Amino acid sequence: MRIPLMVALVVLAGCRFGRVNQGRVIEYQRSQGLITLISDSNPLPPITIRTPEDPNEMGPEPEAGKLLLLDSANRRVMIFDSATQRLRTIPYTLVSERGDVRSTDPSVSRTRFPVVDRASRAITVYSPRDRKLVTFSVAEEYFALPDDTWKAGDEIRYYYKDPGRALRLMNVSKTDLNTGGK
């Protein structure tokens, strides 16, 4: 009785179960199969992973962006600053905000976000998750940042055994779980 139990324990000890991580994509290099993200569990430093070798193990390709948080209640945004490799919280002045805006709404469906209007000092972003269309203004110095600063990167979840290689990857932002991922 002891020998089968010991064999089972040795086999289980030798197995290496995978792990799951999730975060927001800040850079995607399709040709090299590399995704850089800010992990939800440990924001810094950014993590770079390889996409799954089997393309069937990956959902829709992710879109990158540096906007990590749009906090309407406190009138601030959190971005990843590529130049300093740090997170920055930037206060903003609200210009307008509309809630319950679906992606099929004409004001959203025909527009590519973010809309950065440097002449008017206004930035318009759309949050599909929150169904919010928000226009705000920030201090002049922030208008020098690239437009992708104000774009929210896709949220991805991936399964791995080797921390640098995703075995399976799901684009949470572009997967409708109510339809079974279809």
CB atoms within 10 A of CB 106: 7
CA atoms within 13 A on the CB side of 69: 16
The predicted-structure confidence for 50-101, as pLDDT tens digits, reads as follows 999 999 999 999 999 999 999 999 999 999 999 999 999 999 999 999 999 9
Describe the strand order of the beta sheet including 19-29 as a list of residue ranges.
Answer: 47-50, 34-39, 19-29, 155-160, 166-171
Determine the pLDDT at residue 128. Answer: 84
Residue 17: strand, helix, or coil:
coil
Report whether 130 contacts 70 (CB < 8 A).
yes
Domains belonging to the chain, first-starting first, are: 18-63+153-179 (2.40.50.320), 67-150 (no CATH)
Read off the pLDDT of residues 129-167 as tens digits, 9 standing for 90 and up: 889 999 999 999 999 999 999 999 999 999 999 999 999
Q: What is the pLDDT of residue 175?
A: 82
pLDDT at 115 over 70: yes
The pTM of this model reads 0.84
Say yes or no to pLDDT of 14 above 60. Answer: no
Sheet of 115-117, strands arranged across: 93-98, 132-137, 122-127, 115-117
Encoded tokens for 26: 């800040």
> What are 14-21's contacts with CB under 8 Å, separation 24+?
16/161, 17/161, 18/159, 18/160, 18/161, 18/167, 19/159, 19/160, 19/161, 20/157, 20/158, 20/159, 20/160, 21/47, 21/157, 21/158, 21/160
Q: Which of 132, 3, 163 is CA-nearest to residue 69?
A: 132
35 DSSP β-pair partners: 28, 49
Q: State the DSSP code for 119.
A: T
Confidence of residue 107 (pLDDT cuts 50, 70, 90): confident
